[in-house]
Structure 1
Amino acid sequence: MSRILSEISKSSRSKNVCEDITVFSDAEFSELNHLIEEYIHSKQFIEGSFFVEEMSNGDSEGRAKRIYLDRLGKSRVMSSMKWADFETRLGSSDSTTSYRRTERMENDYFRNLESRLLRSCGVNANVTELVISMIDLQNKQIDELRSRRRQLRRGFIKEIVFNPIRSLRDKFESSTNKISRLEIPTQKLVGAITVVSDTSVLFTTRDWGVAGTISTMAGAMIAATAQ
């Protein structure tokens, strides 16, 4: 995961031809294509993307809950409380059970966690700032996903990460006159960065899990509005 972000960050730092397009060298694109192919078939990504999509769709069959509790290794006695805390912190539940003092995670706190995570993954400061600014533009849509007033189509998160690379690869391989520039819309790239960075923390602690879920939702909205 960190190698994917490193490749994206390296290209974004040095080869932007304009703020809307990120250009890759042949070597950078080849490496990124290889890493993305591996990543989308990993258990971490498959499980994480399924989890976030289920959360936005209401988790009516409890599959997201089972994944979360299994990964955290919570006992049966503690599981209901821990899951209720997670849902409340995410904003998908408004339960006010008396024993719980958990509150919905505020946007400023989430942004701080997201910035810390991106920096720890080796994403440079300019790209981190760009990611956060694009997340801020999607606050309304993110809130709708958190509260389950908007849903993510199943399989959409995989498309966010893979489709920009696949589209460029197919265009390159089918061209009789090889395209001179390997470029991807920056907004689509930011959507992918956001998803890739956060699947690593979904099942660590409660707050990192909530932040990872919110950020993956944000990546989906950023990519969905890209031209």
Structure 2
Amino acid sequence: MAGKTLDSITSQDIAALGIPSEEAEKLHQTLLQIITSCGAATPQTWSRISKELLNPDLPYSLHRMMYYGCYSHFGPDPPAWLPDPENVMLTNVGQLLERRGKEFLGSRYKDPISSFSDFQKFSVSNPEVYWKTVLDELSISFSVPPQCVLYDNPSRENGLSYPGGQWLPGAFINPARNCLSVNDKRTLDDTVVIWHDEGDGGMPINRMTLEELRREVWYATFYLTTVV
């Protein structure tokens, strides 16, 4: 949907949507303050517009004008949502890119949000580097390590075919060991299971630490090996 950029919208444009002139002027002044502070087309711009300018009582046409004005540079398919920069830094991907973004992307790296598309392309074109990084970040250990991350042209051994290639050929992994082990990113006190009992919508969410999970697994193992 084509429309005006935020910095070209006037109070008259806002009033034309059926908003009283005095209110339209106030909304326009708020818009100008946001643009001055954040620019006319940034994730921060839309975040502030949605919190400080828009509200459910204003006509949908204004919401649409602000939205497409902010994301006019995205073309006909702007994003439905972008995370706050502060929250991005708390994610695993955000922290990884902050540490190693320049290593992966060189001078193209700016920040986790702006560079996410470039990082996605990097992950596709460099599967060995990307997936080794992911496995290291997740502290996944193999009983037998893979020969490589992706074997593009595997032979048809035992009648098996691998459309698109064979991932982690030759690898053996013990899922239980990976789930129950302590490593440099997980302690016995960390929460590893979160669940909610069905039918108890008003009850608190249940949590289990790694130490508690290991104890439950030990009980189950003891029962299966000595009683059953």
Same fold (TM over 0.5): no
* Higher normalized helix content (fraction of residues): 1
TM-score, normalised to structure 1's length?
Answer: 0.18
Q: Which has the larger radius of gyration?
A: 2
TM-score, normalised to structure 2's length?
Answer: 0.18
